Amino acid sequence: MQSVPIVPVKKLPSFSLVLETENLANADLDGLLQSLASLAQQDVPLTTANEVLIIDSGDTPTQLLDQLCDRYPWLKVHSVPSTTGYYKAKMLGAATATGQVIVYGDSDCTYEAGWLRSLLTPFAQSNDVQIVAGETMTRGVGFYGTAMALTYIFPQYSGENALAPTTQYFLNNVAFRREFLLEHPIPVLLPLYRGNCVIHAKSLRQQGRTIWRQPQARATHAPPSSLSHLFWRFLLIGHDYYWQQRLSAQTVGEATPSRATQSVPNDRDPMSGFKGKMDIFFDRIRKMAKYDRRHLFYLPFTFPIVLASAMLIFIGYTITSRQPDYLLKTYSHLLDA
């Protein structure tokens, strides 16, 4: 793989890194430790950041946060109410931070050592670049890991080298110019569990904005950490697919799903339709085998998990099509209990 051009740190734009703890509500706290350890190994020192913010909504023990701040002096905790959701926490981070570029990571992701430089370099090379998205892959190999690599949200690494336009981004691996993001905020009041960034990306594309994909900014995301996490996560993927289909044909305004619809020809959701799903499925298998050939050994044994995951998505979609807010409300109540 070609390396990212070495741009001296002093020539990179000023930046702020934003993490949040809301994602840890149903995940393993060890993920936060691994995430911060990977950030500490970046070849752009985090001591050069304007700030590294962790937006804490009460999902991490205070004692652990204190220990982490002692271990990583560049880390700053910004406390928010426990009711603060994932996307609101991210946007609060942008409003609080002061860097020219806002870099978003997640507390359950780990990042390659050149990740931060790879995201920041395009901003240094062109003032026209407003959004740079990295690539996030589900980590793990084995009966469970291979099944999650095949069925979970994140695709395999593309294996490409060059910066290129793309249609989407993941909020665990993306950077925005701060002023641009505040002028074009991620909507926070959509009826989705995750996926607001899908709607945001489509809205930006409708406005003629380019989202750049930087394949050398690589991260891995943890798969669901328990049976209950897997059960609810895949049900909610179905919930989100339903709502994304309803919202994707709308011109999304500031934080409201109720604006008048506006059809966009030739811009269909790549997840819609049986053929689209099968194309994605086989593309994943091909890239999984290319990235780690051990996946081919485990692949025949993954089908019970793959089938169960697909059924949960279908059930989630079906329930939501009949009772649009039932699953999200039920899940929220379970977390609050």
Cβ count near 66 (within 10 Å): 11
Q: Is residue 131 part of a domain?
A: yes
Q: Is residue 326 part of a domain?
A: no
Q: What is the mean pLDDT of the chain?
A: 87
Strand partners, 101: 15, 177
Q: Is residue 186 part of a domain?
A: yes
Please check the confidence at residue 234 and state whether its pLDDT lies above 90: yes
Which CATH number does the domain housing residue 133 bear? 3.90.550.10
Q: Is residue 335 part of a domain?
A: no
Which tens digit of pLDDT belongs to each residue from 120-139? 999 999 999 999 999 999 99
Give the per-residue pLDDT at 332: 87
Q: Is residue 2 part of a domain?
A: no
In angstroms, the Cα distances linking 7 to 3, 105, 133 are 11, 21, 18
Q: How much is the average pLDDT of 5-19?
A: 86
Counting Cβ atoms within 10 Å, is residue 173 exposed (0-12), middle (13-18) or buried (19+)? buried
In angstroms, the Cα distances linking 153 to 119, 136, 212, 287 are 21, 10, 20, 15
Which tens digit of pLDDT belongs to each residue from 68-115? 899 999 999 988 888 888 999 999 999 999 999 999 999 889 999 999
CB 138 within 8 A of CB 151: no
Please check the confidence at residue 239 and state whether its pLDDT lies above 60: yes
Helices marked H in the chain: 30-40, 62-71, 86-96, 115-125, 143-151, 178-183, 196-206, 227-247, 274-291, 294-298, 303-322, 326-336
Please check the confidence at residue 329 and state whether its pLDDT lies above 50: yes
Please check the confidence at residue 269 and state whether its pLDDT lies above 60: no
Give the per-residue pLDDT at 268: 42
CB 92 within 8 A of CB 84: yes
Q: Is residue 126 part of a domain?
A: yes
Question: 239: domain range?
Answer: 9-247
Q: Is residue 334 part of a domain?
A: no
CB 252 within 8 A of CB 259: yes
CB 317 within 8 A of CB 242: yes
Q: How far apart are CA 111 and CA 104, in angstroms?
A: 12
Predicted structure pTM score: 0.88
The whole-angstrom distance between residue 9's C-alpha and the CA centroid of its chain comes to 26
Give the per-residue pLDDT at 260: 33
Number of domains in the chain: 1
Q: How far apart are CA 284 and CA 301, in angstroms?
A: 16
Please check the confidence at residue 270 and state whether its pLDDT lies above 60: no
Q: How much is the average pLDDT of 198-217?
A: 95
First and final C-alpha spacing in the chain: 48
Q: Is residue 255 part of a domain?
A: no
Give the per-residue pLDDT at 63: 86
Give the per-residue pLDDT at 274: 58
Which tens digit of pLDDT belongs to each residue from 208-233? 999 999 999 999 999 998 899 999 99
Q: How much is the average pLDDT of 157-181?
A: 95
Q: How far apart are CA 150 and CA 170, in angstroms?
A: 17
Q: How much is the average pLDDT of 174-199?
A: 95
